[in-house]
Amino acid sequence: MNRKEWLRSSGALLAGGLSVFSAGFVPREKSIKEIKRDITSTRVFISDADYARIAPQNLQARLSANENPFGPSEAAKEAFIGAMGESNRYSFGGLRDLGMKILEHEGLERENLLMSAGSSPILTAGAVYYGQAGGNIVTGDPSYSDMPSKIEEFGTEVRWVPLTSEYKVDLKAMEAKVDENTKMVYVCNPNNPTATMVDSEELRSFCKRVSKKATVFVDEAYIEFQDDMDSKTMMGLIKEGHDVIVARTFSKLYGFAGLRVGYMASTKENIEKFEPYTRGAMSISGPAAAAAGVTYLEPDYMKMVRARIVESKEHLYATLKKEGYEYVPSDANFVIFPINMDTKRFMQEMWKRGVGIRTWEFDNKNWCRISIGEMHEMETFAKAFHQIS
Ligand SMILES: Cc1ncc(COP(=O)(O)O)c(C=O)c1O
């Protein structure tokens, strides 16, 4: 039981007296968010029934987690297998090689990089640091809420700023929310769940101005889907010494969601703030580090993934148009669009037809988010969608 659940259950005890132990007591059904929190926790294993609710059986189209459907590159797989034989040793060498490649490409120093098993542990470290730092943090809404919602659980104020009418992160409105107590501003770019990107020059000048008042954390989990990612990243600001954090993951374009490699780049001061709350590179396995080292910026593989994502995305756009639906043009490997059905029912109807999706409710509308899959998965979605739309 985590702190929040304990508080909730002890609150229920106080409110309901001992009657909660009577024969009629029915435990509250967990929300999907709570089940996900449990399954990613190191302490709790979820029940079969809960597992079925977040991982429906017999999925023919897994379009729910923004994964790369094509798998890691052949070179990554070979490197992984090759490194297995040395897995009895701590993999200092492999980790160092990976780190040096990233630093060399970004023109940064060792003190600027913190690697981890995916970027989630970085976000968790940020939650622990900023959750305890007091003041407030500013973020978009809806955006990737992993770190902000954990910060809120610490009792620290989170200023949720609605997106623009184009469903982009509203930099102007966010800047207006920054005050002398703001410790951090989180910008997810491209934004999850809307897959929109803000203009890079606007974001760059936003970062330069706002970072004088608070740390700007730019989550670039999906930036690799951009052909010209190096001109769109905020990495360059770190070299210039701005108070900016950039987080990256191998989970998306590189197809490492299950392998777990990620990193953050920032000033020495920010790296030192996060470091105490994560095991850093030592949580990455040797084979995963070796695989990441060979696939990092692997040009043919990146080109292939981007092209196939565009191909499947065009198919999805055509399906939505044919069924008379609007969608938000996507800068990543997922697409969000408004639906005319209750979100829970829509998700269940899709599951029944073997299609895993995610839903949201914001801006007085119900939304479906589709992660881009292989072509046959997009065809399965199209068939199911035609039946229920
Ligand atoms: C915006 C964003 N940041 C970070 C993550 C965390 O990914 P991982 O821990 O697999 O690196 C995700 C995962 O979906 C994401 O969408």
Whole-number pLDDT of residue 6: 35
Nearest to 273 by CA among 245, 315, 303: 245
**Which residues does 36 contact at the CB level (< 8 Å), separation at least 6?**
54
- The residues, ordered by sequence, that sit 6+ positions from 173 with a Cβ below 8 Å of its Cβ are 161, 162, 164
User: Are 52 and 347 spatial neighbours (Cβ–Cβ below 8 Å)?
Assistant: no
| pLDDT surpasses 80 at 23 | no
Domain count along the chain = 3
Ligand 1: distance of its center to the CA of 296 in Å? 17
Same domain, 65 and 109: no
| pLDDT for the residue numbered 47 | 72
Whole-number percent of the chain with pLDDT over 70: 88
What tokens does 159 get?
């200023």
Angle, vertex CA 215, rays to CA 210 and CA 218, nearest 5:
90
Residue 21 pLDDT > 60: no
Radius of gyration, CA atoms only, the chain: 21
Shared-domain flag, residues 115 and 149: yes
Q: Are residues 207 and 67 in the same domain?
A: no
* Residue 136 Cβ < 6 Å to ligand 1: no
Residue at which a domain ends, from 264, 295, 326: 295
CB of 194 sitting under 6 A from ligand 1: no
Dist CA 68 CA 255 (whole Å): 5
DSSP 163: -
**Is the CA virtual torsion 264, 266, 272, 277 positive or negative?**
negative
CA distances from 57 to 48, 49, 201, 347, 354 (A): 11, 12, 45, 14, 8
Do 90 and 17 lie in one domain? The reply is no
220 lines ligand 1 (CB under 6 A): no
Residue with CA nearest ligand 1 atom 2? 221
Ligand 1 neighbourhood includes 257 CB (under 6 angstroms):
yes
- Are both 290 and 317 inside the same structural domain? no
Quick: pLDDT tens for 285-311. Answer: 999 999 999 999 999 999 999 999 999
**Share above pLDDT 90 across residues of the chain, in percent, rounded to a whole number:** 84
State whether the beta carbon of 219 lies less than 6 angstroms from ligand 1: yes
Nearest CA to ligand 1 atom 3: 221
pTM score: 0.89
Look at residue 123 and tell me whether its pLDDT is greater than 60. Answer: yes
Q: Are 261 and 324 part of one and the same domain?
A: no
Q: Which residues of 319-351 are buried (b: 16+ CB within 10 A; e: fewer)?
A: bbeeeebebbebbbbbbbbebeeebeebbebbb
- Report the CATH number that the domain containing residue 243 is assigned in CATH: 3.40.640.10
Q: 64, 67, 68, 120: which to mutate for ligand 1, most atoms within 8 A of CB? A: 120
The CATH number for 349's domain is 3.90.1150.10
Are residue 185 and residue 245 in the same domain, yes or no?
yes
Ligand 1 in contact with 118 (CB < 6 A)? yes
For residue 40, pLDDT beyond 70: no
Looking at the fold, whether 179 and 264 belong to one and the same domain comes out as: yes
Say if residues 219 and 188 touch (Cβ distance below 8 Å): yes
Q: Is the same domain home to 122 and 27? A: no
Please check whether residues 217 and 285 belong to one and the same domain. Answer: yes
Measured N-to-C along each axis, helices 286-295 and 92-106 cross at an angle, to the nearest 10 degrees, of: 30
> Do residues 70 and 255 touch, judged by C-beta distance below 8 A?
yes
Q: Tell me which residue range forms the domain holding 358.
A: 61-71+299-388
Q: Give the distance (Å) from ligand 1 centre to CA of residue 19.
A: 42
Task: Give the burial class of 59: count Cβ atoms within 10 A of its Cβ; 0-12 exposed, 13-18 middle, 19 or more buried.
Answer: middle
Q: In this structure, are 143 and 181 located in the same domain?
A: yes
108 and 47 within one domain: no
User: 249 in ligand 1 pocket by Cβ < 6 Å?
Assistant: yes
The per-residue pLDDT for range 327-348, each reduced to its tens digit, is: 999 999 999 999 999 999 999 9
380 lines ligand 1 (CB under 6 A): no
